[in-house]
Structure 1
Amino acid sequence: MEKRATFSNLWLAAALVAPQLLLVFVFFYWPSGEALYWAFTLEPPFGGSNQWVGFLNFSTVFSDAKYWASVRVSLIFALVATVLSLAIAVLLALFVDRRLPGHQVYKFTYFLPYALAAPAVGLAFRFIFAPDAGFVSAINRAFPDLWNPALDGVDALALIIMAQAWKMAGYNFVFFLAALQSIPRTLVEAGAMDGASVLRRMRDIQLPLIAPTLFFLIVINITDSFVDSFGIVDITTGGGPARATDLMVYKIYSDGFQGKDYSLAAAQSIVLMLLVVALTFVQFRFVERRIHYT
């Protein structure tokens, strides 16, 4: 029987774990509890203690057409950005895995976008794709008003999708490359000896074997699209034009900190949390069944 390791000094163990537990409580559980309290209460307009209103805030949220528009935009943003980011990352990883000349430099370069903060990414894309500057201005001179995120909602949504996909591509690239390098070289070499082309080996050997990594990254990317896209939206479009990029996470900010309706914003944050949990459950319940772990 294998002997299990034990830690006899419980006080030392508690002292080592306590700082991490304190951080988790202060920055996660405490704010979550406060949001739950505000979601079921209402602050009087002239001050005083909060009044218990039950599900009134939630019914107000669900009866708001602007909120449902925000949900629709958020779903489109999350799905398109996830697919685009994963497609770019897997292509980069497949080519780097072939050990082409300079592949060591590519490994470092492709990861750099994820090292940037979301507001920095949003600021960069705002200037790069400005309709009156850079290469986009040349395109607009040839085709007037072809691209203008400040006035066209479709252009604005495409802009934040590209920024989100670019930011997450580096993160996805690292995982895809690690998964590809864990595949035994003998399998790929056997396919080459059988006459399979490079694209055929990628499609029939490498991609099926990295399916567990792909599933993990789908969950991570969708979750990140819902909860960590505020910086990109705030710097790039500010939720506009005409609420075309008013994602759920940004609407929470605008209603709570700009509209000063903390109870309504808290209710929206609870709904967003439940939506992310539901999407994750669906992915694990139905999508994971199609994944074969080797």
Structure 2
Amino acid sequence: MTADRLPANARLLHWALSLYPASYGDGARAEIAHHAGQHIAGTGRLAGLREVADVAGYGARVRLGLVPHRPPGQALATAAPLAAVLAGTYAAWHLWSIAQVIHGEGLDWYGPSGARVVAVTALMLAPAALMAVAVLAGRWTAARCLALVAVVAASLLPVLFQPLLRDYQAVLLVFNAAVVLVAPPDRTSHPSRAVPWAVALSIMAGEIALSVAGSFFGERALHTAFDFVAPVVTGVAIACTARAVGQAALATAVLAGPPLLSPLLLDMGPTHLPLVVRPVVLFTAGYAIAFVTVRLAGQFTRHSDILHR
């Protein structure tokens, strides 16, 4: 069985090795081919295919620069936990809002096909919310699997059915889940686990505060505080965790994809310009405040150390 299987797997392995750029070196590729070939020869069909997929996946990462020692890979690894939290808190709050409407008004509030609309929307939102939970728990393998489900669900379900979410909301989920999916598994570039927790708690606190305010202002209250709170706390998180200005800029570019590109991709027109300008202004404000605070705190600490010597 293994002998019959080996030629096909060997051809697939040869194709996987061709994904590595020439700069990777013939010696390194030969070593990968040797170890992967031994593993394929001594294992089953599915395990062999997984080994080939791992070799091909890492080769694609090397060719695209999405590895821990390259700036794009470092930026993605820095942004991935924050992207997961942004998508997850956004999805969780929408799920909670839908549950509140169903509890108060029933499914009929969404029309004759309310049950189907709610089910499709929940299928779009639930993977993103679970992805954030997995990231906050430090379960990155589960988070990547859920990110793949989130990308597929948020991309395909709106084409097949009419959910409650608008197109730009689905794009936000897809972009952020894609960041988690393609980011290299590099723990050294991830922010400390306290940072994603702080971002998640800040966003949820903003949503709760807005709900409390809604009881006083009624219809004048906004539906969600996410559009205002998320850019600010993300800017603070980047300023506090990025090791260098270049890494901060690249991580910012990664996280800016959903709010900035979705209006362009969907051709919303000039009337939706605030959807682009607002997050930029709020993110810049949060980043600047945190950056100055960190610098001043560092200078104060150094000054105190000098005085106590």
In the superposition, the TM-score normalised over structure 2's length comes to 0.27
Q: Which protein has the bigger helix share?
A: 2
Point out which structure has higher relative CO (alpha carbons under 8 A, 6+ apart).
Answer: 1
In the superposition, the TM-score normalised over structure 1's length comes to 0.28
